[in-house]
């Protein structure tokens, strides 16, 4: 270990590592391979860009992902089984947070072919259009404006409706195209769904809206990245990767953990990776390197490679390629706090699936027959997004929230038929949450060490401003009073957490802290406008681009996968146009 540490910081570390550990080099210049483009990371961003660029047979693309191929794992492909899956998760924890009473919620990310889309909850939602218009201004890339990005939302998706829907939910099929990612909605409602949607409309004073057409505020029985025909997960690898795999100019390596990007001066020209199946290091030379490693690992890799805050890199002995203090700053993530309710027997829950043999056998049989039943769902789709009234910010400076464009919600209310809070009660229950969808405070990601295998240090700064705290406190109270409504009592029989005796602001705040968690939508850590130019290039560096969640200037109002797909499609067009491929 000591030797490895000493070697780090030498410019030749990559070459040394590969000459020590690698199989015999394949090319004359001592590297193992060459490609026009090397893409680091195979989540929605990496696979969308790979599929697009390989349409040109003269362009060679190699995609490296540290994670495994889980394509044939039923815990991935069967939607309802995501609740059982424990593979393909790249686990991170945030630093102890004084706002959360010192807690350290996890910020797990996807680590498999498909990235987060392999393990996520499959919600497909685009949200407020003004977000995209503002990104266009911030980045100087006017292709990101809503009316333009809609073409990319279309190009990446296709709408697959279920044959017989019994509930009211507007969907505009023309905002989908004939792209690879399948989007559908749930076949049947859970017992709670319509009651909840109605109660939300009445209590929160919002309408049912179509969250794929530019609307940000309202109630929705949402859409999912599930194929309607067989109710299987549609995700980045199956949708885009399988197409790229049919092309001889595409090379895919799973279990390939990139340790560093190599430079000649300020031109990126190679990547070095650990093939963790054989434990050998390899270097690939490329004309261009596209980092698509998500919002946690992309800034991490840039910093390990010498692009980041120079003072910290120097402390760790990493040669500075370019001092870019903004790398790793501006971490923005949706985050939320939970409540739990006991559910009446007609509300089908994961608990019932686990402990009631009749429910389980029926669910397994229904799914096997035609994809029907519990396993064809992701355990709950109804949600609402709202703006908070001015009174929510009494006594604090609420101007950040109050000045957001009128289509932006402040918080989201959502539920799932899964018991999430540990040790609440061993009964059939649902979990609901209120989350900040446009938080004011931002966090940061820095290097913990120069060892690429060590996780970076993450200060998430959840509920990090007085107005963020006022918003979540108001929202948490609203969520509890909503779910305790008489109209929901027949289904939600008893509040289990925080429970009726928790009434003072201090006790409510303690409940918020206790259940605070990431919604796993981190963005902004290698942002357009600051680190990146309008064509996704790291400013001041040649041959290096960053795409996907880290490039977003801040978080959109919905779960973000829809936007990662669309934004990356736009990036691929921009790259192909600029590079003349
Ligand atoms: C648990 C969870 C639930 C979610 N639920 C939803 C949801 O319901 N709806 C929604 O819209 N969004 C959801 N998301 C968010 C969404 O999945 C992500 O925002 C999206 O996947 C980000 O795409 P990306 O391509 O930018 O990065 P990622 O999907 O994170 O992909 C990055 C890839 O890079 C690889 N990688 C990282 N570092 C390296 C390295 N050094 N070398 C090689 N490979 C590397 C990783 O293995 C990973 O596969 C969820 C995310 C998670 C984690
Ligand atoms: C799927 O999850 C179940 C429950 O956690 C586990 O027993 C099973 O081994 C998993 N299947 C695979 C293929 O990993
Ligand atoms: C559906 O979306 C298209 C494209 O944005 C729009 O022109 C049309 O008016 C929408 N239709 C409805 C009914 O909202
Ligand atoms: C390669 O990865 C394996 C598995 O994670 C690890 O044990 C090994 O130390 C790594 N090798 C190098 C040279 O980094
Ligand atoms: C929870 O309840 C179920 C059904 O009664 C039982 O089978 C299971 O063992 C219980 N689990 C725990 C941890 O008590
Ligand atoms: C990161 O955030 C933490 C907590 O907000 C702060 O103390 C620290 O100074 C920040 N680090 C950097 C490098 O910005
Ligand atoms: C509320 O009641 C629960 C269960 O009896 C108890 O654990 C908890 O400490 C109480 N909370 C408050 C704030 O009184």
DSSP letters for 397-434: --HHHHTS-TT--SEEEEEESS--STTS-SSSEEEEEE
Q: Where are the beta strands (DSSP E) in 74-113?
A: 89-90, 109-110
Would the CB of 444 count as within 6 Å of ligand 6?
A: yes
Q: What residues contact 199, with CB distance under 8 A and at least 6 apart? A: 482, 485, 487, 488
- Two tokens, residue 99: 């706002």
Which residues, 6+ apart, have CB-to-CB distance to 105 below 8 Å? Answer: 93, 94, 97, 335, 460, 462, 516, 517, 518
> Among 69, 70, 75, 82, which is best to mutate for testing ligand 2, by the most ligand atoms less than 8 A from CB?
75
Using a 6 Å CB cutoff, which residues line ligand 4? 17, 21, 274, 276, 279, 281
Ligand having the closest approach to the CA of 326: 6
What is the residue with the minimal CA distance to atom 13 of ligand 3? 172
> pLDDT at residue 165 above 80?
yes
User: Which one of the ligands is nearest to 419 CA?
Assistant: 5
pLDDT at 163: 81
What is the structure's pLDDT at 24?
44
Distance 401 CA to ligand 7 centre (A): 33
Tokens 């540990």: give the residue: 422
**pLDDT (average), residues 140-167:** 96
Rounded to 5 degrees, φ, ψ at 338 are -110, 155
Residue with CA closest to ligand 4 atom 13: 281
Cα gap 259→276, rounded to integer Å: 12
| Sign for the pseudo-dihedral over CA of 547, 553, 555, 558 | negative
Please answer whether residues 427 and 404 qualify as being in contact, where contact means their C-beta atoms are separated by less than 8 angstroms. no
Architecture per CATH, 3-579: 3-Layer(bba) Sandwich (3.50)
* 84 CA closest ligand 2 atom index: 5
β-bridge partners, 93 = 106
**Which residue from 333, 553, 301, 292 is spatially nearest to 459, judged by alpha carbons?**
333
pLDDT computed for residue 87 by the predictor: 98
- Cα 153 to Cα 294: distance, rounded to the nearest angstrom: 19
Nearest residue (CA) to ligand 6, atom 3: 459
3 state DSSP class of 265: coil
Query: What's the gap in Å between 196 CA and the centre of ligand 4?
Result: 50
**Residue 26 above 60 pLDDT?**
no
Nearest Cα residue to 121 out of 385, 390, 406, 418: 418
Half-sphere exposure of 421 (CA within 13 A, CB side): 28
Residue 322, Cα to own-chain centre: how many angstroms? 28
State in Å: Cα 281 to ligand 4 middle: 8
Given a cut of 90, whether residue 383 has pLDDT beyond it is yes
The C-alpha atoms of residue 465 and residue 485 are separated, in whole angstroms, by: 31
> Which own/partner pairs from 387-390 qualify as long-range (CB within 8 Å, at least 24 positions apart)?
387/217, 388/471, 388/474, 388/475
pLDDT at 2 over 50: no
Distance CA 17, CA 280 (A): 9
Q: Note the pTM of the prediction, 2 decimals.
A: 0.95
130 vs 495: CA distance, rounded Å: 37
Cβ of 355 below 6 Å from ligand 5: yes
Which of 172, 173, 175, 211 to probe ligand 3 with, by most ligand atoms within 8 A of CB? 172
pLDDT over 60 at 30, yes or no: no
The residue whose CA has the least distance to atom 2 of ligand 5 is 426
76 contacts 378 by C-beta, under 8 angstroms: no
Q: By CB neighbour count within 10 A (0-12 exposed, 13-18 middle, 19+ buried), where does 96 fall? A: exposed
Q: What distance in Å separates the CA atoms of residue 258 and residue 243, rounded to the nearest whole number?
A: 24
Place of tokens 């060892």: 451
Phi/psi at 155 (nearest 5 deg)? -65, -25
Residues belonging to the binding site are 258
Higher pLDDT, 16 or 332: 332
Q: Mean of the pLDDT values across residues 439-456?
A: 98
Q: Residue positions in the annotated binding site for FAD?
A: 258
pLDDT of 13 > 50? The answer is no
Q: Is 248 touching ligand 5 by the criterion CB < 6 Å?
A: no
Atom of ligand 5 nearest to the CA of 356: 4
Q: Is 459 in the pocket of ligand 6 (CB under 6 A)?
A: yes
Q: Is the pLDDT of residue 303 over 90?
A: yes
Q: Which residues contact 555 (CB under 8 A, 6 or more apart)?
A: 332, 333, 334, 437, 438, 439, 521, 523, 524
CB atoms within 10 A of CB 426: 9
Cβ of 158 closer than 6 Å to ligand 6, yes or no, is: no
Confidence check: pLDDT of 12 > 70:
no
Q: What is the pLDDT of residues 508-518, one digit of tens each?
A: 999 999 999 99
Regarding the beta carbon of 48 and ligand 1, being less than 6 Å apart is answered no
Taking CA atoms only, the protein residue closest to ligand 3 atom 3 is 174
The percent of residues above 90 in pLDDT, for the chain, comes to: 93
Angle (CA) 213-417-186 rounded to 5° is 40
Residue indicated by tokens 């404006």: 145
Mutate to test the pocket of ligand 1, among 91, 112, 116 (most ligand atoms within 8 A of CB): 116
Q: What is the mean pLDDT of the chain?
A: 94
Nearest atom in ligand 3 to the alpha carbon of residue 210 is 14
Structure tokens at 348: 């089908």
- Residue 183 pairs with which residues in a beta bridge? 159
Ligand 4 geometric centre to CA of 356 (Å): 44
Q: Ligand 4 mean position to 4 CA, how many Å?
A: 11
Cβ–Cβ under 8 Å, residues 85 and 144:
no
pLDDT tops 50 at residue 25 = no
- For residue 498, cis peptide bond before it (omega within 30 degrees of 0): yes
Residues 82/121, Cβ–Cβ less than 8 Å = yes
Going from N- to C-terminal start, the domains of the chain cover 3-579
């Amino acid at each position: 270990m000591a030797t490895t540490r000493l070697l780090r910081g030498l410019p030749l570390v990559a070459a040394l590592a590969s000459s020590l550990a690698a199989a015999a080099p394949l090319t004359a210049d001592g590297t193992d391979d060459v490609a026009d483009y090397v893409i680091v990371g195979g989540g929605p961003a990496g696979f969308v860009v790979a599929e697009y660029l390989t349409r040109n047979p003269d362009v060679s693309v190699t995609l490296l992902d540290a994670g495994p191929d889980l394509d044939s794992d039923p815990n991935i492909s069967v939607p309802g089984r995501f609740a059982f899956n424990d593979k393909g998760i790249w686990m991170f924890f945030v630093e102890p947070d004084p706002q959360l009473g010192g807690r350290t919620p996890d910020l797990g990310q996807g680590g498999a072919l498909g990235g987060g889309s392999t393990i996520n909850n499959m919600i497909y939602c685009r949200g407020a259009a003004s977000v995209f218009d503002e990104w266009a201004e911030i980045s100087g890339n006017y292709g990101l404006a809503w009316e333009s990005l809609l073409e990319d939302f279309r190009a990446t998706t296709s709408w697959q409706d279920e044959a017989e829907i019994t509930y009211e939910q507007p969907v505009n099929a023309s905002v989908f195209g004939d792209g690879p990612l399948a989007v559908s909605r749930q076949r049947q409602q859970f017992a709670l769904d319509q009651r909840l949607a109605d109660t939300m409309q009445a209590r929160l004073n919002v309408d049912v809206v179509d969250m794929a057409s530019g609307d940000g505020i309202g109630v929705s029985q949402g859409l999912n990245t599930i194929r309607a025909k067989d109710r299987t997960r549609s995700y980045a690898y199956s949708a885009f990767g399988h197409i790229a795999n049919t092309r001889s100019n595409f090379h895919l390596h799973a279990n390939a953990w990139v340790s560093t990007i190599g430079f000649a001066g300020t031109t990126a020209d190679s990547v070095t990776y650990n093939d963790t199946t054989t434990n050998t290091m390899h270097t690939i030379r490329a004309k261009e390197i596209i980092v698509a490693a998500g919002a946690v690992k992309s800034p991490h890799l840039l910093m390990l490679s010498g692009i980041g805050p120079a003072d910290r890199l120097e402390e760790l002995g990493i040669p500075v390629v370019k001092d870019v203090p903004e790398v790793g700053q501006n971490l923005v993530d949706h985050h939320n706090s939970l409540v739990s309710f006991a559910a009446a027997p007609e509300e089908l829950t994961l608990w019932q699936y686990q402990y009631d043999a009749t429910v389980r056998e029926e669910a397994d049989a229904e799914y096997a027959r035609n994809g029907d039943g519990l396993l064809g769902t992701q355990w709950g789709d109804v949600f609402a997004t709202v703006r908070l009234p001015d009174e929510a910010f009494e006594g604090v400076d609420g101007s950040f929230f109050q000045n957001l464009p009128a289509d932006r919600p402040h918080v989201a209310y959502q539920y799932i038929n899964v018991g999430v809070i540990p040790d609440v009660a061993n009964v059939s229950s649902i979990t609901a949450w209120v989350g900040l969808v446009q938080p004011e405070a931002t966090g940061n990601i820095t290097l913990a060490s120069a060892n690429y295998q060590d996780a970076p240090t993450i200060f998430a700064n959840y509920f990090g401003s007085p107005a963020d705290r006022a918003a979540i406190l108001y929202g948490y109270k609203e969520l509890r009073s909503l779910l305790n409504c008489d109209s929901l009592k027949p289904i939600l029989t008893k509040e289990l957490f925080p429970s009726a005796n928790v009434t003072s602001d201090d006790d409510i705040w303690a409940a918020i802290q206790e259940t605070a968690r990431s919604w796993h939508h981190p963005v902004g850590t290698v942002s357009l406008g600051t680190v990146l130019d309008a064509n996704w290039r790291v400013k001041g560096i040649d041959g290096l681009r960053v795409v996907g969640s880290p490039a977003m200037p801040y978080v959109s109002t919905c779960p973000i996968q829809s936007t990662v797909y669309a934004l990356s499609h736009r990036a691929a067009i921009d790259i192909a146009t600029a590079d003349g491929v």
